[in-house]
A and B are shown apart, each in its own frame.
Chain A
């Protein structure tokens, strides 16, 4: 068993592509939610989203490479390059063939799916572009990261909706811990802001029309976002031996399934994933100093998540700082778990708890210390990041101060 540390983080987020911009927006509760501009809104009830602004593929790819990729895969590759650069990791043989790569995504190439269906059904086209399938496949993110960086080791994609990024990081962590790979590059990516996608989410009646206010009494739903985060995980020995900067140590990963309702989260399922992560880390609930919540801002998620936290933490639940990053980042589905684990790792690294943005009023159904609107300096030894996906698939990561 190896100890596993985070040595590199790369993000493509609604509040910037640079890690400093990402973190300062989270700490200052500056929301990346704004008008939806990527698709026409005249047929939508919801006109807001957390878009990745000014993302110019030409700034990152030559034409020929960009042409092969849906926006979600472009996000994955840009975040992966940043993470490897941030870790100052040199990828040469034999590392290139040993390193693991895992990229989560909820739906894969959303705009490719939308565009091609429009052509076939809407415009009566008799044929589709030959790159339709390679662009939309849910593993395209993992494949392009591997091709772009020359990573030839174990490489896979994970699709567990809103927990995809968390599952990817958790599995990669277990591989490094067990010695199956000395280094892993793992995270998630999503670019789901298409007309069809928005219509689908509208139909679920979970989207807010104004903004995302997690845990607030006045919360009105979730806001869709997009983005990606990739993290470099490596054994502590290797990080020490190459003198790498260590952000935090990954301590545990737990998973569970609700086996209940399709879209209604079950507090027992969430609680079991939290307990599994604590057990994997050989820690008790008492050691958790901060929880980065799933906190989508829907009435049901936040209530259920509070119940799950109460079920594990007991009376201490009211006193453990819990914040959601979704007021700033929106909900980028398969990207969200990775972006939020990046935030959790940065909280440990800077000993600063990022607040829950847009918080207006406490809700007795979510009687938690939500760290409303203002960041808090606090000693954080161990932190936890929750992701509870549609379909009842839960994933929780635990990390500790380096």
Chain B
């Protein structure tokens, strides 16, 4: 199973929806994820991939502080596709590091 499928599996498990139904452009807000769901999802990523995610949740937007494009910045993720991208990047940085 690749990282993308695992991420979808985790999101589906916590939001109690079929991971197959998650599309890259599915928005977290449309999936009715509340702030508690989000921190649980992030926690599950950290546990599964042994990474640390600096979550910055603000009203109606979710983001992590991470190294991106050579510098540390706030990277928003509001769709399943963006989550997969962010987690994949952090996992890759860990492997490189």
A residues near B, CB below 8 A? Answer: 63-64, 68, 127, 129-131, 134
Contact between chains at A64 and B16 (CB < 8 Å):
yes
> Once bound together, how far apart are the Cα atoms of A129 and B16, in whole Å?
18
> Once bound together, how far apart are the Cα atoms of A274 and B49, in whole Å?
59
- By Cβ-Cβ distance, the 9 closest A-B pairs, closest first, are A130-B39, A130-B43, A130-B40, A64-B16, A127-B46, A63-B16, A129-B43, A127-B43, A131-B40
Question: With A63-B16, A64-B16 as given contacts, are A127 and B47 in contact (CB-CB < 8 Å)?
Answer: yes
> Once bound together, how far apart are the Cα atoms of A131 and B37, in whole Å?
10
Q: Is B72 an interface residue (CB 8 A)?
A: no
What's the minimum C-beta distance from B35 to chain A, rounded to whole angstroms? 10
Chain A residues with Cβ under 8 A from B36's Cβ?
68, 130-131, 134
Chain B residues with Cβ under 8 A from A127's Cβ?
43, 46-47
**Contact digits for B29-66, partner A, Cβ 8 Å, 1 yes 0 no:** 00000001001100100110000000000000000000
What's the minimum C-beta distance from A197 to chain B, rounded to whole angstroms? 26
Q: How many A-B residue pairs have CB under 8 A?
A: 15
> Once bound together, how far apart are the Cα atoms of A42 and B3, in whole Å?
41
What's the minimum C-beta distance from A114 to chain B, rounded to whole angstroms? 19
Kindly state the interface size class of chain B when it binds its partner.
Answer: under 10
Chain A residues with Cβ under 8 A from B43's Cβ?
127, 129-130
B residues near A, CB below 8 A? Answer: 16, 36, 39-40, 43, 46-47
What's the minimum C-beta distance from A248 to chain B, rounded to whole angstroms? 41
- Given A63-B16, A129-B40: 11 more A-B contacts, CB < 8 Å: A64-B16, A68-B36, A127-B43, A127-B46, A127-B47, A129-B43, A130-B36, A130-B39, A130-B40, A131-B36, A131-B40
**A64 and chain B: residue at smallest CB distance:** B16
What's the minimum C-beta distance from B64 to chain A, rounded to whole angstroms? 15
> Once bound together, how far apart are the Cα atoms of A63 and B16, in whole Å?
9
A–B Cβ pairs within 8 angstroms, 15 of them: A63-B16, A64-B16, A68-B36, A127-B43, A127-B46, A127-B47, A129-B40, A129-B43, A130-B36, A130-B39, A130-B40, A130-B43, A131-B36, A131-B40, A134-B36
> Once bound together, how far apart are the Cα atoms of A129 and B40, in whole Å?
7
> Once bound together, how far apart are the Cα atoms of A129 and B46, in whole Å?
11
> Once bound together, how far apart are the Cα atoms of A210 and B43, in whole Å?
44
**A128 and chain B: residue at smallest CB distance:** B43
Chain B residues with Cβ under 8 A from A129's Cβ?
40, 43
Chain A residues with Cβ under 8 A from B46's Cβ?
127
> Once bound together, how far apart are the Cα atoms of A130 and B36, in whole Å?
8
**B50 and chain A: residue at smallest CB distance:** A126
> Once bound together, how far apart are the Cα atoms of A130 and B53, in whole Å?
13
Chain B residues with Cβ under 8 A from A134's Cβ?
36
> Once bound together, how far apart are the Cα atoms of A118 and B36, in whole Å?
23
> Once bound together, how far apart are the Cα atoms of A328 and B43, in whole Å?
43
Chain B residues with Cβ under 8 A from A64's Cβ?
16
Chain B residues with Cβ under 8 A from A131's Cβ?
36, 40
Q: Which of A63, A127, A130, A131 has the most CB of B within 10 A?
A: A130
> Once bound together, how far apart are the Cα atoms of A165 and B43, in whole Å?
35
> Once bound together, how far apart are the Cα atoms of A234 and B86, in whole Å?
55
Chain B residues with Cβ under 8 A from A130's Cβ?
36, 39-40, 43
> Once bound together, how far apart are the Cα atoms of A131 and B41, in whole Å?
12
What's the minimum C-beta distance from A132 to chain B, rounded to whole angstroms? 10
> Once bound together, how far apart are the Cα atoms of A129 and B44, in whole Å?
8
> Once bound together, how far apart are the Cα atoms of A312 and B70, in whole Å?
79
What's the minimum C-beta distance from B44 to chain A, rounded to whole angstroms? 9
> Once bound together, how far apart are the Cα atoms of A68 and B34, in whole Å?
13
**B13 and chain A: residue at smallest CB distance:** A63
> Once bound together, how far apart are the Cα atoms of A130 and B16, in whole Å?
17
> Once bound together, how far apart are the Cα atoms of A250 and B16, in whole Å?
45
What's the minimum C-beta distance from B36 to chain A, rounded to whole angstroms? 7
> Once bound together, how far apart are the Cα atoms of A63 and B40, in whole Å?
15
